[in-house]
Amino acid sequence: MIKSEAKWFLGKEYQNSVFVLADDSQDRLTQLNRVGMNPRIMSSKFQVEKLLEASLSPIVFVKTSAEEKARDVAAQLCKNKESYDIILGFHTVAVMGEKILKKPSTREEASSVLKQLSGRYHSVITGVALLHSTKRVKTFSVETEVKMGEIDEETLKEYVKDDEWIGKPAGYGIYYKGSTFIETNNGNFFNIMGIPVYETIEKIRKIMYGAKK
- With a cut of 90, say whether residue 67 has pLDDT above it: yes
Structural domain spans, the chain? 7-210
Type of residue at 24: D
- With a threshold of 0.85, does the pTM exceed it? yes
141 neighbors 60 (Cβ within 8 angstroms)? no
175-195 exposure pattern, b = at least 16 Cβ within 10 A, e = fewer: eeebeebbeebebbebbbbbb
The CATH number fitting domain 7-210, selected from 3.30.300.160, 3.90.950.10, 3.20.20.140, 3.90.1410.10: 3.90.950.10
Whole-Å CA distances, 63 to 6, 56, 102, 106 = 25, 10, 17, 27
Rg of the chain over CA atoms, in angstroms? 18
User: Using one digit for the tens of pLDDT, what is the confidence trace for 79-136?
Assistant: 999 999 999 999 999 999 889 998 899 999 999 999 999 999 999 999 999 999 999 9
- Measured in residues, the chain has a length of 213
The rounded distance, in Å, linking the Cα atoms of 70 and 129 is: 7
- Average pLDDT in the 142-165 region? 94
**pLDDT of 120:** 96
Classify residue 60 as exposed, middle or buried by CB count within 10 Å of its CB (0-12, 13-18, 19+).
middle
The rounded distance, in Å, linking the Cα atoms of 109 and 72 is: 30
User: Using one digit for the tens of pLDDT, what is the confidence trace for 173-201?
Assistant: 887 899 999 999 999 999 998 999 999 99
